[in-house]
């Protein structure tokens, strides 16, 4: 694999696009969205994007759990994965449409990484209202929300994403991974993105898989599911090298034309990208463990945090907390910050604002209410 395949030579252009993408011009206060998705990584991605629009989604892992939640609570929109354990997304949609409940006409958006015309037709035939292909991106979801939730539209209050631009300007590069796109897909939650790509490759143990076992008839269904999952998750994580090679592998595998050389190249590319991500994660941990932040830098971030809290911008708070957690600030400061983190994570914004005001003597300028 060529380590220069995915360089960031167009980084400045990406940064300009990033500024536009991470500041959606619409927000949806009070909207309740149910996301039916069994992959925790995909849940993280769609949660990060929806949070940018002021939405805190509810998640279901299965079709049955989806039906239970719809019976208990009111929702305005459902994102429905097609491949679910137990009853699949199409069957779950049929159940919703055929019931005599208040939610039987709720808008349902299909989610799938196949993106094939036949499957799209099946989704509409089952009663779904729209189609969202994987890998997700902000523009696709923004279009879906605007189309089906116009009545909830408000002006956007999301804060700036300065820490993302800082990361991108440092030209962080992982061979085979589009880091900037991945961070945007996670709504700017940088550390969450790094944890997710590490989790994905840690579970990706293909090194001892033999070609003969892989193509054997008795393992066909299980391996088809494994390939589909790897394709979908790697695409959503912007791990482009694995995604591209898995698309080719899946097509040949399903058609019965998979050759051993193609299989071996796929294993090799997955292994090399895995090694690159593990190496990167080790370096990130070393840098984090060794970096000591200054009081001036801390003051700057806490001033930004105060403004985000006053505006009730959950996304901006998450961004700043990610940065604060990336360094050590000394024992006294760290003790205060740990308490502050917990208060904010519990959405006790007024208490967090009061805590910052009490420590006003530590900051360069007084906070404005």
Tens-place pLDDT, residues 285-305: 766 655 677 777 788 788 888
Mean pLDDT of the region 277-290: 75
Same domain, 31 and 152: yes
Tell me whether residue 272 is exposed, middle or buried, using C-beta atoms within 10 angstroms of its C-beta: 0 to 12, 13 to 18, 19 or more: middle
Distance, CA of 36 to CA of 112 (rounded, Å): 12
Does the global pTM surpass 0.85? no
**Separation between Cα atoms, residue 320 and residue 341, nearest integer Å:** 11
Q: Domain check: are 66 and 174 in the same one?
A: no
- Higher-confidence residue of 251 and 15: namely 251
Asked which of 179-193, 196-210, 353-367 is least confident by mean pLDDT, the reply is 353-367
Residue 26: what pLDDT?
62
pLDDT at position 1: 35
Would residue 149 count as lying in a domain? Answer: yes
* HSE, side-chain direction, 13 A CA sphere, residue 131: 18
| Residue 338 within any structural domain of the chain | yes
Q: Could you give the CA distance from residue 106 to residue 96 in angstroms, rounded to a whole number?
A: 9
Q: Is the pLDDT assigned to residue 28 strictly greater than 90?
A: no
What is the mean pLDDT of the segment spanning 146-170? 56
Residue 247 to residue 144: CA distance in whole angstroms: 25
CATH of the domain at 142: 3.40.50.2300
Give the percent of the chain with pLDDT over 90. Answer: 31
Looking at the structure, do residues 167 and 276 belong to the same domain, yes or no?
yes
Question: Is 10 part of a structural domain of the chain?
Answer: no
Give a yes or no: residue 302 inside a domain: yes
pLDDT of residue 262: 93
Domain boundary among 108, 127, 158: 158
264 lies in a domain?
yes
Long-range CB contacts (< 8 A, 24+ apart) of 345-351? Answer: 347/314, 349/309, 349/312
Mean pLDDT on 8-13: 32
Tokens at 42, concatenated: 């995909």
At residue 290, the pLDDT reads: 58
Could you list the residue range(s) of the whole structural domain that residue 231 is in?
A: 163-287
Would 266 be classed as within a structural domain?
Answer: yes
Q: Are residues 319 and 251 in the same domain?
A: no
Most confidently modeled of 30-44, 64-78, 172-186, 286-300? 64-78
Does 278 share its domain with 321?
no
Last residue of a domain, one of 138, 158, 178: 158
Q: Is the pLDDT of residue 23 over 60?
A: no
Average pLDDT over residues 42-48: 84
Q: What is the DSSP string of 189-252?
A: -HHHHHHHHHHHHHT---TT--HHHHH-GGGHHHHHHHHHHHHHHHHHTT-HHHHHHHHHHHHH
If you average pLDDT over residues 207-230, what whole number do you get? 88
Last residue of a domain, one of 125, 158, 191: 158
DSSP H helices, the chain, are: 11-21, 40-51, 63-72, 89-98, 117-125, 138-148, 162-169, 179-185, 190-202, 211-215, 220-236, 240-255, 260-290, 295-310, 314-324, 331-345, 349-358
**DSSP state, 30?**
T
Please tell me whether residues 283 and 307 are part of one structural domain: no
In this prediction, residue 91 carries a pLDDT of 95
Please give the structure tokens belonging to residue 283. Answer: 């370096």
Residue 163 clears pLDDT 60, i.e. is over it: no
User: Do residues 111 and 138 share a domain?
Assistant: yes
Judged against a pLDDT cut of 50, whether residue 27 lies above it is answered with yes
* Pair (327, 271) in one structural domain: no
| Residue 179: other Cβ atoms inside 10 A | 22
Q: How confident is the model at residue 129 (pLDDT cuts 50, 70, 90)?
A: very high
Stronger pLDDT, 172 or 165, i.e. the higher one: 172
Residues 30 and 153 in one domain: yes
- Is the pLDDT assigned to residue 15 strictly greater than 60? no
Q: Are residues 255 and 309 in the same domain?
A: no
8 within some domain: no
Give the largest Cα separation in the chain, rounded: 70
Q: How far apart are CA 131 and CA 64, in angstroms?
A: 21
Are 153 and 182 within one domain?
no
Query: What span, in angstroms and rounded, lies between the C-alpha atoms of 349 and 324?
Result: 17
Could you give the number of structural domains in the chain? 3
Q: Which residues of 85-94 are buried (b: 16+ CB within 10 A; e: fewer)?
A: eebbbbebbb
Measured CA to CA in angstroms, residue 91 lies from 68, 80, 108 at distances of 15, 11, 13
HSE (CB half, 13 Å, CA atoms) of 35? Answer: 25
For residue 234, give both structure tokens.
């790697």
Together in a domain, 274 and 173: yes
Residue at 335 is within a domain: yes
């Amino acid at each position: 694999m060529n380590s220069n395949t995915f360089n960031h030579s167009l980084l400045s252009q990406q940064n300009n696009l990033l500024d536009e993408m991470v500041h959606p011009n619409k927000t949806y206060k009070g909207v309740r969205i149910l996301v039916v998705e069994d992959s925790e990584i995909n849940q993280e991605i769609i949660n990060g994007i929806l949070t940018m629009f002021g939405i805190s989604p509810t998640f279901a892992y299965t079709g049955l759990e989806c039906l239970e939640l719809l019976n208990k609570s009111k929702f305005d929109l459902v994102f429905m994965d097609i491949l679910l354990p137990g009853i699949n997304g199409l069957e779950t949609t049929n159940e919703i449409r055929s019931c005599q409940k208040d939610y039987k006409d709720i808008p349902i958006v299909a989610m799938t990484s196949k993106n094939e015309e036949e499957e799209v037709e099946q989704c509409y035939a089952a009663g779904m209202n729209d189609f969202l292909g994987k890998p997700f991106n902000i523009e696709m979801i923004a279009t879906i929300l605007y189309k089906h939730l116009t009545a909830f539209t408000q002006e956007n209050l999301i804060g700036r994403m300065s820490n993302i631009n800082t990361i991108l300007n440092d030209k962080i590069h992982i061979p085979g991974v589009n880091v900037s796109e991945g961070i945007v897909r996670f709504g700017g939650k940088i550390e969450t993105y790094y944890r997710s790509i590490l989790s994905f490759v840690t579970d990706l143990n293909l090194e001892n898989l033999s070609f003969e076992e892989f193509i054997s008839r008795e393992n066909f269904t299980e391996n088809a599911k494994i390939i589909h999952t790897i394709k979908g998750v790697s695409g959503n994580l912007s791990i482009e090298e694995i995604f591209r090679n898995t698309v080719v592998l899946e097509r040949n595998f399903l058609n019965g034309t998979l050759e051993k050389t193609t299989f071996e190249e796929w294993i090799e590319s997955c292994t090399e990208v895995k090694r690159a991500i593990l190496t990167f994660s080790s370096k990130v941990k070393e840098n984090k463990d060794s970096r000591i932040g200054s009081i001036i830098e801390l003051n700057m971030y806490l001033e930004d945090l105060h403004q985000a809290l006053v505006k009730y911008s959950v996304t901006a708070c998450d961004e700043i907390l990610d940065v604060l957690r990336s360094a050590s600030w000394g024992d006294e400061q760290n003790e205060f910050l740990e308490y502050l983190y917990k208060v904010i994570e519990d959405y006790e914004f007024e208490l967090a604002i009061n805590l910052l005001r009490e420590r006003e003597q530590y900051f360069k300028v007084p906070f404005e209410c």
